[in-house]
Amino acid sequence: MHFPNHSDCEKYQQFLSTVQASPVGGRRSVVGGLMKTKPKVLGLLVWTLIAGTEYFRVPAFGWVMFVAVFYWVLTVFFLIIYLTMTYTRIPQVPWTTVGLWFNGSAFALYLSAAIVDASSVSPERDSHNFNSWAASSFFAFLVTICYAGNTYFSFIAWRSRTIQ
């Protein structure tokens, strides 16, 4: 059995700092890094909490599921593009603009989905559905905050790129 030593921890921290410096967002900071990793985990929580219930009985949850799954898949797609460094092989794509549009649209649609999610939660006899829907609503607002932060960092990167 291999136990992590100090060298392994340093390598992991170095990897995390590399991943956090996304070409789509452009900021190397702890806050920026957290804003980039949190939507993946929290977005997964949003749609799995809803998918584990009888969400089809409330039509509004269809919109929440669409937004959550769509942006989760796109976020994972952009992560794969970043990890494989595909963005360096496609310099024609204005990645800062793509990042700004992606994060801005994710913020706007997740905000609407979070509001729909919160307004659709109502107590019922099955407390499992209520608890899952309430938790998904909470996490949807957290994802919205993360995408708002990403939009800010993307705007700063886009603005500094267009000024040059």
Neighbour-count burial of 114, counting CB atoms closer than 10 A to its CB (0-12 exposed, 13-18 middle, 19+ buried): buried
pLDDT given at position 108: 97
Mean pLDDT by 10 residues, the chain (164 residues): 46 38 44 56 81 85 92 88 89 90 95 93 75 90 91 90 68
Read off φ and ψ for residue 47, nearest 5 degrees. -80, -25
DSSP-derived 3-state class of residue 151 = helix
Instruction: Please state, in angstroms and rounded to a whole number, the distance separating the CA atoms of residues 148 and 137.
Output: 17
